[in-house]
Structure 1
């Protein structure tokens, strides 16, 4: 009975949400973007945990996973790049799996073949309050983060993700910056204090603040700086993108004052 009730409740909620979408007339008036027909890679969606509650919830909220993932991928690309003509890692295949395992999500592989898993256990936890909108917000945000890892550019001349903390902080900071920039982290999710070298949300909110206060194209330029600044460093990239008068540590201090974490 519980399973039937869950299915009926979810179906009703999804129906209500879809009622708030754009009408066919509104959609036809939306201008096409350069990304609308961009090939993001073949989406190979596999549910490896079909008997779990998390799987049931996922399929009710996201009835067409490949379309959902494709739309998110194009949003990530439009955040990181100016146009499809930019230097973008060529992705031919994205294997996306639902799996009954601890954790949240992770990306593996490198272009042209990417693998991403999403935990059905995490889906169940995120849906604990039966809040469909909250779960969609979380699922989309996690997807933005992992897809950023698929498409983002990487620092050169400083080692690798596992051997250099600057490399790591840039990669994880940019992934959460894309999530912040697309409204899937709110102000309440911003960690206080720390340092941009902490990566993830700490760096992500900082990068978006730079975009909002210094240069609206900062995320695109910062991503591309990995091709233009070799060996790459935060300070060299900041100077390359914003000008020689800027220093990363001074910007971090300005940001901390602006968000109220420290006093001027």
Structure 2
């Protein structure tokens, strides 16, 4: 579906009643936007709302940081400004720090908002229509979080965040989407619990990878670097991305980092700092400094036919796994200086039965395994060929290992798109390395079927459209806040999903 861009002519949004108090020197602020220029007006301070007080039409009060005016006689009704409420919302007691616009490039109506949380009803009361925003401006030091849910709560739906001005929301796949908003100040003193499990690894002479544990309620994580004795923010990331990749660093240099979270209560305490030193400069810019994870193999099928088979045909399984890690990275990344989703350790299990292969866990340690029973069945079904067995084992390792290194698309659960990416890219790696001989292309398949169906689609796009397509596709999952196949294909190849899938199907 194509996105419609609103080109709205000049519209002024102004809460005129606030200007009545200009001479009184108060601090109520409203936003008036004309051609992208914001103005503010002030009004006198009004008494706080009291449940027992009788108010008549025109009475003004303050409540929850906003100014309200009574529409008619009222008592014991909290001001909300929503439809049917006895109170009309006039403005806020705090100055606006972010302005939200109807059109792209800061056009159309614009509404300034201060720090706070705004439900769909709150935004409607302030003149912001539902699913109607396309650009924003935000004051330095503040974060605007936009939600597709009616309530701005982490985990309730898709989220877009901005720490600087956005002329449009297309890159975030969020145009005309927001239904609720939260605005927070990043510099507020931290009081909550710091993120757990903070650690880092050196990925190349110019890159350091950091990660930590996610926590319920956290919306943004802020990474800070120690520079000349004080900490400076170097990256912000959403809750569903519990890692940060710092690039363009100086080879052979020590760096110190810490991380804190931002949630509904503000900014948490920062973690204890960690210091990491980048490697010395690479001579080739290729894969000279790539290091496979530490690998521990546990045989839980000791004594079984599958265990005996593996030990006979592949006596050094840990080295086989380590060698495969470099091959995976060569397929989905450009070189060792790319932003590789590194992990430090693999715990590998040979299970008595269960799934042919599996992966769990997150960096720095991931868990992988395969079924000894599956290997016996495969061996017997393929003429008891040792070579075929080795190829199958390496193929399973390639698939599950890709799950460890690949990026996971954010906010891509609709239509099985995220799962199709994850399993499809893993099977593409297996196909590309010649480790999936039984897989075949089938006409009439679905792009979001995952595994080899999606894997062959990725291979066709890489072979016919862009030799680096698979690498760019993996990077799109890292970079796009709200990922979809159509958005990723348009960004990488300039064509949408429906056109490319039809062309691929016609080629089979």
Q: Report the TM-score range of the alignment, normalised by the length of the smaller protein.
A: 0.7 to 0.9
Structure 1 match to 2:387? 133
Selected match of 1:173 from 418, 424, 447? 424
**Any conservation in 1 of the 2:379–2:385 contact (CA below 8 Å)?**
yes
Query: Whole-Å Cα distance in 2 between the matches of residues 158 and 213 of structure 1?
Result: 26
> Is residue 389 of structure 2 the alignment partner of residue 111 of structure 1?
no
Query: Whole-Å Cα distance in 2 between the matches of residues 108 and 183 of structure 1?
Result: 25
TM-score w.r.t. length of structure 2: 0.42
Selected match of 2:403 from 149, 152, 156? 149
Structure 1 runs not aligned, ≥5 long:
1-31, 260-264
Structure 1 match to 2:473? 222
Secondary structure of the residue that 1:90 maps to in structure 2?
A: coil
> Is residue 326 of structure 2 the alignment partner of residue 77 of structure 1?
no
Higher helix fraction (1 or 2): 1
Query: Whole-Å Cα distance in 2 between the matches of residues 250 and 86 of structure 1?
Result: 30
Structure 2 runs not aligned, ≥5 long:
1-283
Higher strand fraction (1 or 2): 2
Instruction: Report the RMSD for the aligned CA atoms in angstroms.
Output: 1.8
> Is residue 182 of structure 2 the alignment partner of residue 182 of structure 1?
no
Query: Whole-Å Cα distance in 2 between the matches of residues 250 and 111 of structure 1?
Result: 37
Structure 1 match to 2:339? 87
In the alignment of these two chains, the number of paired residues is: 223
Structure 2 match to 1:249? 498
Structure 2 match to 1:35? 287
Secondary structure of the residue that 1:170 maps to in structure 2?
A: helix
Query: Whole-Å Cα distance in 1 between the matches of residues 403 and 304 of structure 2?
Result: 27
- After superposition, what is the alpha-carbon deviation per residue over 1:73-100, rounded to whole angstroms, capped at 9, x for unaligned? 1100111101122222220110011110
Structure 2 match to 1:196? 447
Query: Whole-Å Cα distance in 2 between the matches of residues 100 and 83 of structure 1?
Result: 37
Is the deviation greater in 121-130 or in 189-198?
Answer: 189-198
Secondary structure of the residue that 1:201 maps to in structure 2?
A: helix
Query: Whole-Å Cα distance in 1 between the matches of residues 297 and 467 of structure 2?
Result: 34
Higher relative contact order (CA 8 A, sep 6+): 1
Query: Whole-Å Cα distance in 2 between the matches of residues 93 and 234 of structure 1?
Result: 31
